[in-house]
Amino acid sequence: MAGIYIHIPYCKQACHYCDFHFSTMLKSVPEMGKAILEEIRMRGDYLGKQSISTIYFGGGTPSLLPAVYISSILSLIRRSFFLTEQTEITLEANPDDLSPEKLKMFFDLGINRLSIGVQSFDNEVLKFINRAHSRDQALKCIEDARKTGFRNINVDLIHSIPGSRPDRWQRDLEIILDIFPEHISSYGLTIEPGTVFGKWHKEKRLIPLEEDLAASEYELLINYLQRAGYDHYEISNFALPGHRSRHNMSYWLGEHYMGIGPGAHSYNGTSRQYNVTNNARYIKSIHHKELPATRETLSRLDQANEYLLTSLRTSWGIDLKVLREKFSFNLLDEQGTYLQRLIQGGLLLQQNEHLILTDKGKLLADQITEDLFLTSP
Ligand code: SF4
């Protein structure tokens, strides 16, 4: 099984924290639409004969596009690849785009999963991070999506926002549990260079949330959602039974995927490909039938480290047998002392052949992954 990711690189406005690839200049949308279709045609054999378990329209803001663009991309994919009855087709959407009419159009096209960028239900916070919607728009579009027939909805939230208070975050969690979507992704806000928050931080006008407050927000998130029956299957992802995201899972399980559009990445098991992150250059290159991508061949060491990086974030953890048999690394030999320290410190559990982060360990996941990275081939 394999996945297809389509990057739609446009947004209405720039959120202050976001460093994804997007443009707020929409005049190239028609040319971009054509280029995306052409790239799909050019890469018809990238995934071989594998059937497609997930198609994901991400961005940027795919819901900003008229539905006709999504329709022509999906028709071409359906004609060019083998989809099944169960293929998950996700569209990322922002609340301010989701009118009842547009929801119906997306639903009729066969989009069977919506991922809605709500981020917060607090109007002050939404304004602070420069989102284009209000709390009421978010609530209304989720209600409308249900009425339209969507039965698989993800809501994105952000925790650990600078200046946040525990009671504010708790209110967001209470609201999300009233809504009870099938899936919730919640990432802690990080301040990235090149963003408005990055600039404010450099100028000392923005202070990140203190570490202990950020940790309490994350702990509150886990407690609330687990008590409500969500499966905490990856550090930032929670699903009701049977609703883990196939798109996310395909990345974590190392399945092959083809990324289409500027800034999209592709992976075929042995190499990774990165499309140029510039809309004009992307369109021009595709127009000349040249794929605007750089390719990196992954060594066995790269692949083992990618496996470590992704699997440590999941609820099933690192499978030592996979590391031994697929990549010829014995982690217990290489990092035995460090792993014992993590286990004794309550950061890691060993269950048979699996190493799994505890909730306390999840708070330090980035550091632990870095420490575990294998260096010798
Ligand atoms: S967070 Fe989403 S909507 Fe905001 S700028 Fe980034 S891609 Fe666009």
Give me the CATH code for the 2-251 domain, please: 3.20.20.70
Q: Please work out whether the CB of residue 292 comes within 6 Å of at least one atom of ligand 1.
A: no
Find the length of the chain: 377
Which of 107, 112, 92, 84 has its CA nearest to residue 2? 84
Domain 303-372: CATH architecture, name and number where available: Orthogonal Bundle (1.10)
| Residue whose CA lies nearest to ligand 1 atom number 7 | 60
Give the residues of the chain that fall short of pLDDT 70: 377
Of the candidates 86, 88, 92, the one whose C-alpha atom is nearest the C-alpha of residue 70 is: 92
Give the per-residue SS3 of 321-355: HHHHHHHCCCHHHHHHHHHHHHHHCCCEEEECCEE
Please give the pLDDT value at position 375: 85
CA 129 / ligand 1 centre spacing (Å): 10
Q: 263: Cβ below 6 Å to ligand 1?
A: no
Q: Do domains 2-251 and 303-372 have the same CATH topology?
A: no
Confirm or reject: Cβ of 117 under 6 Å from ligand 1. yes
Ligand 1 atom with least separation from CA of 92: 2
Provide the CA 224 distance to its chain's centre, in angstroms: 22
pLDDT at position 377 is: 62
Tokens encoding 24: 């707020």
Tell me which H or E stretch contains 142: helix 135-148
Output the pLDDT for position 317.
Answer: 97
Domain edges within the chain: 2-251, 303-372
